[in-house]
Structure 1
Amino acid sequence: MKIRRFLSVFLLSVLLTALFLVPQAAALDSPVLDAKCALLMDETAGRMLYGHNEKEKAYPASITKVMTALLTLEAVDRGDLSLSQPITASHLAVTSIDEDSSTAGIEAGEVLTVEQLLNCLLIVSANEAANVLAEAVSGSIADFVALMNQRAGELGCEGTHFANTNGLHDPQHYTTAWDIYLIAREAMKHDLFMTICGSKSYDVPATNMSDVRELHSTNALISNWRTLGYIYDYADGLKTGYTDEAGRCLLASAIKDGRRLISVVLGCTTKEVNGETRLMNFVDSATLLDWGYNNFTVQTVFTKDDLIQEIPVLLSKETNAVLVHTAEDVNILLPNDVTTDMLERKVTVYGDTAFAPIEAGQELGEMTLSYDGYDYATVKLLAADSVSVNRFLQGKYLLSQFFSKPLVKILTVVVILLVLAVVVWVRMLRPKSRYGSRGRRNRGTRNYRGRRR
């Protein structure tokens, strides 16, 4: 009994030890943020790395001006405006903003070019510049706001409604962190947008009503002119925002080792940390960007020379299977706690079956790589070798396919029924013998016994 008990305890200990020795994937710790809504996108990989209330409606404040800039640049692309075109600021454009809101000091009747106005808009977040550009693009502020909402819908923004051009508070002026990303992604396709948003400062040339004006960026991730202690070495934009109702907001972009990350934080506060006042929109943005760069890496799962698996082949006597490889090298952005061998493979063959003839390099299907319910990549699978077809098997298959079609089946049944109907009809119309059947006549002759006498 003691030996059995000892063996049981020993085996249980071995099993528990083996269990704990199996490598386990630990979930990444989420970043600790102050923001009410937050989003981190890896734009290079096209993946969301982190989201918190990313589709919850919130006030965007001056991040609104990204849409204003986008519509202006699209008007330039269409030829409706040019960057060097002079625009005269109207009285309405410069007086319909809050006196204590951010401004570039543009006066009614002052003339600036479209490009100068864009710099005022994006570098110092000038509210009057947004209105001046709106009137230049659409003729009126109201029509421009309508265009903003139309364009938001076209970009797939489902939680956005604009009420003005600049983001000054209005209960009917709202968006989401996700929608801000969609708008920013489109605006970032314009080189001038990225150049301006990444500029620390800009000198507005003298105008008809002003001497040279020096503008300094409101984005503390790229400029310490306004406040110190927030510079982020890899940041290259994009746009700040603040109102009492919206809180501190920031749309940020950074690029490191060829990877571009985009972060959005909304509803941040100002905090006292160790006796120092900290603007949490800049703190949260840097935290998110660091978290994305430190916890995700691009890993090579397959090269295009790696053979994946065999796919069954029909209609050939040469072979019954063909090897496939990926169409290109497969590099996937993965969390650091997920290794390539943990990815699940799902291979889909087009049409469910591969048929000969097959040429080397022919696309036969695709493979999806996933982990924990998330699809990381879908890649095309190509045949590694050519496979010849057997003509007899091909003909037999084509014939069977032809007769398996519902219409062909119906027509076949109809033809058979018609043939049977013709046969019956012919038999019914055949003339009968006047004296009955031959058999009946023969039986009558054979049974006749003659006349009695």
Structure 2
Amino acid sequence: MALALTSILGTFALSTSVYAASAPPTPPSLSAQGAILVDANTGQILYGRHIRQEFYPASITKIMTAYLAITHGWNKTVHVSVEAQNQPGSSCYLRAGQAYPMPRVVTAMMMVSGNDAAYAIAQTVGGSVPHFVQMMNQTAQRWHAPGIHFANPSGLPNPHHVVSALGMAIITEHAMANPIFRQIVATKVASLPPDPTPRIYYNQNRLLYTYPGAIGVKIGYTIEADETIVGAAQRHGVTLIEVLLKDTPAGLWPDAANLLNWGFQHFSLVHPIKAGAILGTVDIGHRPILVKSGANLNYLAYPGESIHPILHFVPNNHLASKPITRNELVGSVQISINGQDVGSLPLISLSTMAPYQKSFVWRWKWIESTLAVMILIKLLSRYRSRYRRRKTLRVNPWHLRGSDSR
């Protein structure tokens, strides 16, 4: 695979050819009104349908609820309130006044979609449900997840509680990067401590039982939202995440399997840029430095796809006045392919470079400028002195005749 490097207004284009050019594969027919399929590691979008349109999410909301419970309250004890116990819809059958370990409550919530568990988690982690919902929205905004606005921790219908397929894919990418979350959503059977007898929970995500390589994550349903699912599967080192919104009861599970199958069958992992590949020169402190890639670029390509990476160098400006050694991290490069951001790679220097020294010419110009300013100030000072003396003569001419006016 040959690489050609050309400069384009501070960015660079790498032309690569993997196969003979051909058309993209035809995606499967889906019942879902909103859908997306992405690479979990890079966020690369393989398929999209109304990916920014807002839909009711139902219980896939609990992906964010579980993530915040893991990252902000994993060691806390959940005390169940009357309000939590009385939440409508699906339930873990938690009892008011009881206390449970957070890990057990989160696991139960993700397996049987208990709204009581979601409410109790929100009260425990956020101090109140409104504050927890604020945490949910702030996290979505920090991750730049579009079309997301949460109004409760469970996904119960609310006109202001909406998500987009793209937004949920981004949220799930972050959540699945957490090993505790990943373990929970892959769990098929779990139990909650006795109250008075232990409860056994079975995961409602059918993909875990029927789809080879499935690793989670959450399903949902309300009358307003219809069927929803966020699914994930892993094969041959590739992890795919799918989001289906406003699907039909008959179409949900076939859609979920068909979309994942389409992704695994038509896309394969390639490395348009490999670790050690020379990428060009980067200007750091007025010093051009030859750089290479510090890692492989992962990209899912279909057979015959023409790949044209666009590179945008982001140098480390803290090194502007410092010496640079060979094989030193000097910045990063942001990469887009065919108009889509696909991640970044570290930039590694290929040579040593002394600290930046200002040239003799530059120093002489600085001296000339300083002298010119000093001379100008001196001339202005002399001019002002003469002007004041002349003004004094015009105002008081008698001093020329002495003090006697007779």
Identity of aligned residues (%): 28
Q: 1:220 aligns with which of 206, 221, 246?
A: 206
2:83 aligns to what? 92
C-alpha distance in 2 between matches for 1:311 and 1:129: 52
1:282 aligns to what? 253
C-alpha distance in 2 between matches for 1:403 and 1:175: 62
Q: 1:119 aligns with which of 107, 111, 118?
A: 107
2:166 aligns to what? 178
C-alpha distance in 2 between matches for 1:76 and 1:138: 9
* Aligned-partner residue type, residue 28 of structure 1: P
Q: 2:232 aligns with which of 253, 260, 263?
A: 253
8 A contact 2:126–2:132 mirrored in 1:
yes
* Cα shift at 1:191: 3.0
8 A contact 1:261–1:289 mirrored in 2:
yes
SS at match of 1:330: coil
Q: Closer, same or farther in 2 for the Cα pair 1:404/1:288, shift >3 Å?
A: farther
1:354 aligns to what? none
Q: For CA contacts below 8 A with separation 6 or more, give which structure has more relative contact order.
A: 2
TM-score by length of 1: 0.66
8 A contact 2:282–2:315 mirrored in 1:
no
2:16 aligns to what? none
* Cα shift at 1:240: 0.5
Give the alignment's Cα RMSD to 1 decimal. 4.1
Deviations 1:135-174 (A, max 9, x none): 3233443443344334433443443222222112122221
C-alpha distance in 2 between matches for 1:346 and 1:192: 34
Consecutive unaligned residues in structure 2, runs of 5 or more: 1-18, 317-322, 384-406
1:411 aligns to what? 370
8 A contact 2:39–2:45 mirrored in 1:
yes
1:268 aligns to what? 247
Deviations 1:388-442 (A, max 9, x none): 99xxxx99x702233556xx66434335657989999xxxxxxxxxxxxxxxxxx
* Aligned-partner residue type, residue 91 of structure 1: V
C-alpha distance in 1 between matches for 2:83 and 2:360: 78
Q: 2:189 aligns with which of 196, 201, 213?
A: 201
2:292 aligns to what? 326
Q: How many residues align?
A: 362
- Whichever of the two has the greater Rg, that structure is 1
Further displaced range: 234-243 or 290-299: 290-299
* Cα shift at 1:234: 0.9
8 A contact 1:152–1:183 mirrored in 2:
yes
8 A contact 1:370–1:377 mirrored in 2:
yes
Q: Closer, same or farther in 2 for the Cα pair 1:204/1:295, shift >3 Å?
A: same
C-alpha distance in 1 between matches for 2:354 and 2:129: 68
Pairing 1:298–2:277 present: no
* Aligned-partner residue type, residue 259 of structure 1: V
C-alpha distance in 2 between matches for 1:150 and 1:233: 35
Consecutive unaligned residues in structure 1, runs of 5 or more: 1-21, 224-230, 271-277, 316-320, 352-356, 425-453
SS at match of 1:254: strand
1:191 aligns to what? 179
C-alpha distance in 1 between matches for 2:325 and 2:294: 18
* Aligned-partner residue type, residue 239 of structure 2: R
Q: Closer, same or farther in 2 for the Cα pair 1:175/1:418, shift >3 Å?
A: closer
* Cα shift at 1:73: 1.9
Q: Closer, same or farther in 2 for the Cα pair 1:108/1:295, shift >3 Å?
A: same
Q: 1:76 aligns with which of 58, 73, 86?
A: 73
Q: Closer, same or farther in 2 for the Cα pair 1:140/1:304, shift >3 Å?
A: closer
2:116 aligns to what? 128
Q: Closer, same or farther in 2 for the Cα pair 1:186/1:423, shift >3 Å?
A: closer
SS at match of 1:288: helix
